C-alpha cells in the first residue's frame, strides 16, 4: 500500500506549493516547518510532507535531526 502512495502523481496544486516553498527560500538559509505554514495556508503535517518530498527529489537538504529539523536549498 505504501508503494502506491509513492507512485501517485503530483497534482497541479502540489507543484504550486513546491514552487511557493522554493521561491520563498534563499540559498544558504535554514528554514523550519513553521516558516511555511502561514505562507502556504496549510497544516503542519502537509508542510512536512511537501518538504520531505522536496528532499527526496534533491531540491532541498535537511540537517538530519528528527526534532527541530531544518531545511535549505540544495546547491544545484
Report if residue 56 sits inside a domain.
Answer: yes
Instruction: Give the containing element (helix H, strand E) for 5.
Output: helix 2-7
Averages of pLDDT over each 10 residues, the chain, 76 residues = 46 93 96 95 96 96 92 88
Domain of residue 61: give its range.
12-73
Report if residue 62 sits inside a domain.
Answer: yes
CATH number of the domain enclosing 69: 1.10.10.10
Report if residue 7 sits inside a domain.
Answer: no
For residue 32, give Cα distances in angstroms to 42, 53, 60, 73: 15, 15, 12, 12
- How many domains does one find in the chain? 1
Report if residue 53 sits inside a domain.
Answer: yes
Tens digits of residue pLDDT in 30-47: 999 999 999 999 999 999
For residue 40, give Cα distances in angstroms to 2, 54, 66, 75: 26, 15, 22, 24
Report if residue 6 sits inside a domain.
Answer: no
Task: Give 66's DSSP letter.
Answer: S
Amino acid at each position: 500500500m505504501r508503494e502506491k502512495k509513492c507512485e501517485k502523481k503530483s497534482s497541479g496544486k502540489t507543484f504550486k506549493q513546491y514552487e511557493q516553498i522554493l521561491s520563498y527560500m534563499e540559498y544558504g538559509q535554514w528554514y523550519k516547518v513553521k516558516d511555511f505554514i502561514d505562507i502556504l495556508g496549510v497544516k503542519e503535517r502537509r508542510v512536512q510532507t511537501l518538504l520531505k518530498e522536496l528532499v527526496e527529489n534533491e531540491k532541498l537538504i535537511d540537517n538530519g535531526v528528527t526534532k527541530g529539523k531544518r531545511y535549505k536549498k540544495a546547491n544545484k
